Structure 1
Amino acid sequence: MRDGGRGRLRRSPAPDPHRADPDRTRRARRGPGVALRALEQLDGPGTEADGEEARRLLDAAFETDAGPPGPPVIVAVGTDGDHLATGKALSLALVSLNESGVPGLSGHRLLVEEDRCLLFLPPGVPLDALLGGLAERLPDELEAAGRHPAARLAVHVGSTGGSGAEEAQSGPDVRLTAAMLGSSEFRALCENFPFHPVLCVSPEAFGRLGPRDGAGLVAGRFVPREVTWTDGRVVCVVLAPHLDLSVYDTELLMLARLFNDLDPDGRAMAAAVRESLDAVLDPEGTGRYDAVGLDDREKALIGPRLELALRRLFPAAPPFRLRLSLGGARGWASSSRAEHGDICLVVRVHDAHARWSAGLLRIRPETAVAPVRRDAASPLAAEAWSAVLWLRRGAPLPENVLLRLSEADRAAVLAPGSAVDRTAELFRRVRGRPVPEAALRAVTRRRDGARLVREAAAVLRGEGVLVVGGNRRGRELAGALRIPVPDADAYVSVRLTRRRPHHDGPSVLAGGVAWVVAGPGDPAEPLPQDLPPPRRPR
């Protein structure tokens, strides 16, 4: 985004929202406009065959009216360390948009790379619908995959350089899109929106968007900010989310401040979520570890338990209602009845990814729809999500270790008939990761499994596997070996071996010998007795 250091970038103020560019207005009336108007006429009550015929006619109208094919659309999405999860989330968002009637998506190509996902779309895809749809649905899919929902996207229209993966990545237009995504200026702007997606759009792509609406928004939801050279040339346009601060009234903001002041890192609320889930699962009594197996009556019990726990944690909080969603769906596993004017605490839990989110919402006529039954809670309207004041989004949840194991590992852990053997098998297979005591209950079938952990650790010593607890000595050993340091209510296992010439990692001294974290090729050696057993803090 810099031209050999010859110019400095500056961000110009947003253009006058009431002045529409006539050229862009004319462009907006071409193919995409006709296609979307056709969809409005064709999409209505009828048979499934009628719907399919409507889609076919829509695609035909779109292709016919779009004129000669132009350059394809290139979208780069930052992966933030997990390219596979981001690629899956992007694919699911595209499937959802395609099913909702956005034309031109069936011909897309997706390349998943280590630091970004590259999406190539046909020339005729309507950018307003595409970008607005991705901004709405991609955060939910990222959150459901255990990733941070504040997606970063760069958008350009240009040549892809060829059909192969290497040719596509080496083309100048693709490299430009990647450069926009990775620019320091764009990253700095994204930090101002920790819970919302932000887009960096080239002037060519911005020219294909429709005119601003009466509020000055692009695609009905973005505030455009031009990034220019010192000579006034536009380098790119950053599309930031439009946040309607008028929906955050004084009482709601004061409640948000209370939650953040009393629980600044969210750990207390996360623990309450975990305890409420486990109380209904009852792992020590039933062996259950997955909320998917709960029936509707049991799921309905989680919300009231969580609401009660939160009122105990925050006794000074003004009254609020709870909306709890499991698995990331916008349907509700548990909802307390809320009237217009009430404050709702919206909680979404993704136990399979050990993530959770919470936000505050004032119930207004436009944020709720009529309930199915008179005594049921009013479902939230789609517009409600833009009015949520997020406290946490995609925050860590105490891990449900058994749920997150592969099918083979989980079967191996649960197979032994002895609780000690099951616990030992868990620590054999889950090494270098904290295992909370709560996650052990479905394995030990006991509320307090500290004694079983010590017995299992004694068995594992002969295999060279050390289990450390959250007491002072255990935390010191974990820090010295540079493995995750367990909390007071957690354990971590690691396999050790005697230091040899090829080892270069940290070591601890025990039995007169230096011990290091073992690699795959190192032999199993019994541990000396002066390495302590796992214990909890006193």
Structure 2
Amino acid sequence: MKQKLPDSLVLPGHPDFAVLSGLAEEITARAGGALALEYDVPQMLRQCIDDVIMTPKTGRRAYEELEKTEKTYIGTRVEIDLRALLKLRKGRLDTEILGRDVDIKHTMGSNWMIPTEALDCACLLVAADEVRARCYLGLVIARPGYLTAGQNKDAKRSISAEGFRHILWLLKDQPYPANFWRTADEAAVEQIFAGATGNVRMAQLFRLIRGRPIPRDVVEAVAQQKDFMRRIRADGGHGTRDILAREQIVLLEGQKDAQLIKALELPPCPASAFVSCRVESGYHARMVEQSRHHVEWPTP
């Protein structure tokens, strides 16, 4: 998506203000409020994209590696999941809100393609910028004057530069969970996936990427096995925890070790995620040892 978007002209007095503001209020209410919308839509987009990349099964780690048909399917997934999130029913177009037909358009690029059947109808615009990990959610009435003169072979037209000024934004340049592999050191990623076994790859993951929460789906992608959680357990001296322990690296779980994670001054770790750190000696080493016996300690 374009990094510099014009300010919206959809204010009181604008011909589309009454319709779009009413739709925006309904969407926000259905989401459970503005804060819920800001959280749930970004999470939904991350899940939709990752479910198509399917790293654990395909070994692919980025949107750019997808086939053209798969990229198109992400738009379909977003439409379906957004309807489910907002508890909307299917309409003549993609959905119906407050008795109005609304088309849902999604893009991973910088614009949306508007079909002829959506002309003069409300469109719910969704965009995900994988490079910057930013997302957008807006509403526009697809008036011919807001669209480009040119069209593609399907007679679809995109929103013109002037048309962008007539979008009412619900989310604009909103952060969403970044693709883990895009933000990891490239050399480290290559070393991780070069491992011949699940235990070797898992040990490399937590050895090379320490002090950063690692989501459960990343663990699954690295293990490349059905029982992927087994790879992060101690296993008679051969498991990931055993290997890391010999290197004085402790592997912690977001839910089980929340208190220890905080005491070690590590970043907040979601309940289903994991984080590793090197603990060599002193106060922190004693805390780790005490935690194994369920002993509480003061925060330093």
TM (norm. structure 1) is 0.46
Deviations 1:450-502 (A, max 9, x none): 3323343342222222222231x3222222222212113322222223227xx
Counterpart in the other structure of 1:361: 140
Deviations 1:290-349 (A, max 9, x none): 1111122111110001110111111147153233222xx3245x8777512322222222
Q: 1:488 aligns with which of 271, 275, 287?
A: 271
Structure 1 pair 463/304, CA: closer, same or farther in 2 (3 Å)? same
Deviations 1:52-111 (A, max 9, x none): xxxxxxxxxxxxxxxxxxxxxxxxxxxxxxxxxxxxxxxxxxxxxxxxxxxxxxxxxxxx
C-alpha contact 2:8 2:164 (8 A) present in aligned 1? no
Cα shift at 1:531: 8.2
Q: Would you say 1:499 and 2:282 are equivalent positions?
A: yes
CA distance in 2, matches of 1:281, 1:321: 25
C-alpha contact 1:371 1:378 (8 A) present in aligned 2? yes
Cα shift at 1:447: 6.9
Counterpart in the other structure of 1:324: 106
CA distance in 1, matches of 2:178, 2:259: 22
Q: Would you say 1:140 and 2:2 are equivalent positions?
A: yes
Structure 1 pair 355/417, CA: closer, same or farther in 2 (3 Å)? farther
User: Which amino acid in 2 is paired with 1:409?
Assistant: A
C-alpha contact 2:220 2:229 (8 A) present in aligned 1? no
Secondary structure of the equivalent of 1:320?
strand
- More moved, 259-268 vs 411-420: 259-268
CA distance in 2, matches of 1:244, 1:437: 41
Cα shift at 1:508: 6.4
Deviations 1:210-235 (A, max 9, x none): xxxxxxxxxxxxxxxxxxxxxxxxxx
User: Which amino acid in 1 is paired with 2:2?
Assistant: D
Cα shift at 1:393: 2.6
Q: Would you say 1:340 and 2:151 are equivalent positions?
A: no
Secondary structure of the equivalent of 1:323?
strand
Q: Would you say 1:291 and 2:75 are equivalent positions?
A: no
Secondary structure of the equivalent of 1:511?
helix
User: Which amino acid in 1 is paired with 2:20?
Assistant: L
Q: 1:254 aligns with which of 22, 25, 28?
A: 22
Counterpart in the other structure of 2:91: none
CA distance in 2, matches of 1:467, 1:397: 26
CA distance in 2, matches of 1:510, 1:257: 49
Counterpart in the other structure of 1:276: 48
Number of residue-to-residue matches in the alignment? 273
Cα shift at 1:388: 2.0
C-alpha contact 2:146 2:159 (8 A) present in aligned 1? yes
Secondary structure of the equivalent of 2:46?
helix
Deviations 1:340-361 (A, max 9, x none): 2322222222224433222222
CA distance in 1, matches of 2:8, 2:20: 19
Cα shift at 1:365: 1.3
Secondary structure of the equivalent of 1:280?
helix
Deviations 1:11-70 (A, max 9, x none): xxxxxxxxxxxxxxxxxxxxxxxxxxxxxxxxxxxxxxxxxxxxxxxxxxxxxxxxxxxx
Q: 1:467 aligns with which of 226, 251, 257?
A: 251
CA distance in 1, matches of 2:115, 2:282: 58
- Counting only pairs closer than 5 Å after superposition, residues 509-524 of structure 1 correspond to structure 2 as 509-511=287-289
User: Which amino acid in 2 is paired with 1:461?
Assistant: A
Secondary structure of the equivalent of 2:77?
helix
Larger Rg: 1
Structure 1 pair 438/255, CA: closer, same or farther in 2 (3 Å)? farther
Counterpart in the other structure of 1:457: 241
Cα shift at 1:284: 1.8
Counterpart in the other structure of 1:215: none
Q: Would you say 1:314 and 2:86 are equivalent positions?
A: yes
Q: 2:73 aligns with which of 289, 292, 301?
A: 301
C-alpha contact 1:323 1:336 (8 A) present in aligned 2? no
* Greater relative contact order (Cα < 8 A, sep 6+): 2
Deviations 1:148-183 (A, max 9, x none): x6xxxxxxxxxxxxxxxxxxxxxxxxxxxxxxxxxx
Counterpart in the other structure of 2:176: 397
CA distance in 1, matches of 2:15, 2:286: 56
Q: 1:410 aligns with which of 177, 186, 189?
A: 189
Cα shift at 1:507: 8.1
- Counting only pairs closer than 5 Å after superposition, residues 189-228 of structure 1 correspond to structure 2 as none
Cα shift at 1:390: 1.9
CA distance in 1, matches of 2:48, 2:59: 16
Cα shift at 1:400: 1.9
RMSD: 3.1
CA distance in 1, matches of 2:225, 2:142: 42
User: Which amino acid in 2 is paired with 1:243?
Assistant: L
C-alpha contact 1:338 1:344 (8 A) present in aligned 2? no
CA distance in 2, matches of 1:398, 1:441: 18
CA distance in 2, matches of 1:398, 1:423: 22
CA distance in 2, matches of 1:406, 1:415: 14
Deviations 1:239-293 (A, max 9, x none): xx57342154334223323443425242221221112112221212111111111
